[in-house]
Amino acid sequence: MNAALNILIVEDHPTMIEGYKSILSARYKLDEEVIITTAFNCEMAYQKISAAIVPYDIALLDMIIPPFEAMKLYSGDDLAVLLQQKMPHCKIIMSTSHTEAFVLYNLIKKVNPSGVLVKSDYNPEEFLLAIQKILEGEKYFSATAKLSIKEVHQENQYLDSYNRRIISLLAKGIKTKNLPQHLNITISAIDKRKAHIKEVFGIQKGTDEDIIREAKHRGLI
């Protein structure tokens, strides 16, 4: 007999947890074929992870959950990093209501999860399919997450390392006139690059503050 599938679900809405349990019970016998451990916040999750005798096979982590500041755990992605350190074979699935391309891209870049599910994307059948594919060693991203990765990759083609460095320096309060000291390119070249950045961001008549605000919104800084 195969060992039971050991799943950790971290979600701050109890009704969502009950929903996940209901979906899983359609395919697995709960407490026999699958063991589900639940937590509602980072502190509870930290305690469950620390006390676990058998490593989790899968962790379904909500991205936005109450923090555990004492351990510097502020979100589901921080928990994911902790799990990857303590249980490197655990498959991480991030669940989120966020649909912003750069938020999802940065989540994937930080955690490199086995799956990302945007809550507005999937139904019970797709949730079970995601579990199946991930257990088979594949990665699974719901439709919005896939589109976000594509959008950011396309946009990154237009923002090379110099352009991203300009954005970073502006965010640190460096004035445009002083940028050549940090970049070793002329002020004329910087002005052309800033114009290009504004075009990519869709703020052609924007100021430096508009560049910074848009970069923050997109998760670039």
Q: What is the pLDDT of residues 129-163, one digit of tens each?
A: 999 999 999 999 999 888 877 776 666 666 777 88
Q: Is the pLDDT of residue 1 over 50?
A: no
Confidence at 25, pLDDT banded by 50, 70, 90: very high
pLDDT at 50: 96
Residue 215 and residue 209: Cα distance in Å, rounded?
Answer: 10
pLDDT of residue 105: 75
Average pLDDT (202-213) is 89
pLDDT at 88 over 70: yes
pLDDT band at 2 (very low <50, low <70, confident <90, very high): low
Sign of the torsion angle spanned by Cα atoms 122, 120, 104, 69: negative
Q: Kindly report the backbone phi and psi dihedral angles of residue 38, in degrees, each rounded to the nearest multiple of 5, phi listed first.
A: -125, 155
Residue 124, CA distances (Å) to 141, 170, 188, 216 in order: 15, 45, 55, 34
pTM above 0.95, yes or no: no
Q: What percent of the chain has pLDDT over 90?
A: 67
